[in-house]
Structure 1
Amino acid sequence: MSSNNATAPYYFVPGPSRWPMLGGVSMLVTMIGASGWVNDAAWGQVLCLVGIAAMLAVLFGWFGDAIGESEKGLYSKRIDYSFRWSMGWFIFSEVMFFAAFFGALFYARVITMPWLGDLDNKLIWPDYLPQWGNAGPAGVIDNFNTMGPFPIPTINTALLLASGVTLTIAHHALQAGKRAKTIGWLAATILLGFVFMGFQAYEYIHAYSELNLKLTSGIYGSTFFMLTGFHGFHVTMGAIMLSVVLFRLMKGHFTAEHHFGFEGAAWYWHFVDVVWLGLYVVVYWL
């Protein structure tokens, strides 16, 4: 995390912890609530929000313990390697997560949609047009308009690209031992992230109220909101991670040589940036 004490244990092994069990339970509650929410169950929204709040509490306590251990000098270079491998595999799992949704979008657009519009299926659905953004062959979905790349998605792209630059500047400043400069540029990164989320919230309001575009708007609506919504969730989590790093910097944590807490959050943020570039091209332009 932030220290590399020469007197640290060869490999620090923490004692028994309640956090993994509590984290698993909170995730289970969150997903049960989310499944109920999307299926219009009366209890779904409340249960999902309770699960999210519980998960945030677990993360606060769990990472708080890890930060305390780091600041006590219990983490050697071997622990640093473990954190790096763990963060790398975590980001890889996130890559696979988004790959599944991009794969679903590809399957719907490139395989299913042309198949439904071929000559054989024309006899069943003569009014179906095999073009992306349609209401499906059954005609049971309300008409809606698709979301274009201007202006909000393009603005959000510029915001995330700028945040990647400010975060890189902050990292170089930390490596140079310039704490005040690091804090300033990191704060700018977090601000850009929250502005991004504000614009995305406005985009969703616009989609629902003016375009009649909803999660239930066929395969287009479901893939649009699943991809952009989960990305927005990742941006939110990344901004929270960077905010914790900012708070730690202001408390005097991290050194120019040892600051993986900063680096891990930065890796995650750059991953979120790259995913958005894919979303911007595939979802809004193509």
Structure 2
Amino acid sequence: MTNLVRSNFQAHPFHLVSPSPWPILTCVSLLSLTTSGVLTMHGFSFGQDIFFIALLSVIGSASFWFRDIISEGTYLGNHTLAVQRGLNMGVALFIVSEALFFLAIFWTFFHSALSPAVEMGAQWPPKGIDSINPFELPLLNTILLLASGFLVTYAHHSVIQGKRSGALYGITFTVVLALAFTVLQGVEYTVSSFTLSDSTFGSCFYFGTGFHGLHVIIGTAFIAVGLWRVLAYHFTENHHLGLESSILYWHFVDIVWLFLFISVYYWGS
């Protein structure tokens, strides 16, 4: 009887995770992705094929991993208040690490812009490069992202207040605006007069905006999963950690874009 009681009740509020294959599979997939990416850039045979297989493996492993986390929090009741605090801290630390990543990009940009080398004509943008007009597509994308940030915040407050329709409309329009931003970013790349290999300016521009675009795509998927979970009645007024995490990530994406628009598009041009 004592053993039965101990197996059904625990004396702490934390979740002891069951053994799972997804963390190690995700790590192996990421290692394969980075390795095959380098091999592809150097023209190795079958490097591109391995890259796409590794990419599918990363997406699959992460999807199954998140599926298990959703089951633990929604159906099994393992996400107590203590667990939610830990997950919130994990998401916050992850976003801090992403902020430091973009700090390195901005550092490189300003290092080159404030003291341009002689090889670039001692000017910024370098001689021969026509920068993108910040008041055309970049300004439109800024409006789209700011509007999406407002809508996703409205959806968050709707969830807290128990207004299901407001949450659905807010998240749906957020996803639509995010997809529009990604499409317009692609259009901007196609009409740009310079490339990634055009001096430090091209490298910094495409590295910064490209990685931000990747974060937009990831954030869009993150919020789209939140939309599906709202449709499936997974969230309550007091327990919607997955949606909160996606919203926090999206606000981070918005803030980074504002810095990119002001420094790279406006000041850097």
- The alignment's TM-score, normalised by the length of structure 1, stands at 0.85
Contact in 2 for aligned 1:29/1:48 (Cα 8 Å): yes
Q: Select the structure with the greater relative contact order (CA < 8 A; seq sep ≥ 6).
A: 1
Q: 2:126: which partner in 1?
A: 134
Q: 2:96: which partner in 1?
A: 92
**AA partner of residue 83 (structure 1):** L
Contact in 2 for aligned 1:30/1:52 (Cα 8 Å): yes
| Inter-partner Cα distance in structure 2 for 1:206 and 1:50 | 31
Contact in 1 for aligned 2:113/2:125 (Cα 8 Å): no
Shift in Å at residue 47 of structure 1?
A: 3.3
Shift in Å at residue 279 of structure 1?
A: 0.4
1:35 counterpart = 2:20: no
Q: 1:162: which partner in 2?
A: 147
Other structure's SS at 1:21 match: helix
Shift in Å at residue 43 of structure 1?
A: 4.1
Shift in Å at residue 133 of structure 1?
A: 2.4
1:77 counterpart = 2:81: yes
Select the residue among 98, 104, 109 that pairs with 1:105: 109
| Inter-partner Cα distance in structure 2 for 1:174 and 1:52 | 34
Other structure's SS at 1:214 match: coil
| Inter-partner Cα distance in structure 2 for 1:109 and 1:129 | 12
| Inter-partner Cα distance in structure 2 for 1:272 and 1:261 | 17
| Inter-partner Cα distance in structure 1 for 2:151 and 2:239 | 20
- % same residue: 33
1:231 counterpart = 2:234: no
Query: Structure 1 residues 45 and 151 mapped into 2: Cα distance closer, same or farther (>3 Å)?
Result: farther
Contact in 2 for aligned 1:32/1:47 (Cα 8 Å): no
| Inter-partner Cα distance in structure 2 for 1:40 and 1:133 | 31
| Inter-partner Cα distance in structure 2 for 1:155 and 1:51 | 35
Number of equivalent positions: 257
Shift in Å at residue 35 of structure 1?
A: 2.5
Contact in 1 for aligned 2:182/2:217 (Cα 8 Å): yes
Other structure's SS at 1:166 match: helix
| Inter-partner Cα distance in structure 2 for 1:161 and 1:38 | 35
Shift in Å at residue 27 of structure 1?
A: 1.2
**AA partner of residue 10 (structure 1):** P
Shift in Å at residue 262 of structure 1?
A: 0.7
Shift in Å at residue 44 of structure 1?
A: 4.3
| Inter-partner Cα distance in structure 1 for 2:105 and 2:144 | 24
Shift in Å at residue 33 of structure 1?
A: 2.9
| Inter-partner Cα distance in structure 2 for 1:105 and 1:73 | 47
Unmatched tracts of structure 1, length 5 or more: 1-6, 118-124, 136-142
Select the residue among 64, 67, 91 that pairs with 1:64: 67
Q: In the TM superposition, what whole-angstrom CA distance separates every residue of 1:183-211 from its partner, at most 9, and x where no partner exists?
A: 1110000110000000001111112xxx1
Shift in Å at residue 34 of structure 1?
A: 2.8
Unmatched tracts of structure 2, length 5 or more: 1-8
Select the residue among 38, 55, 58 that pairs with 1:55: 58
Shift in Å at residue 259 of structure 1?
A: 0.8
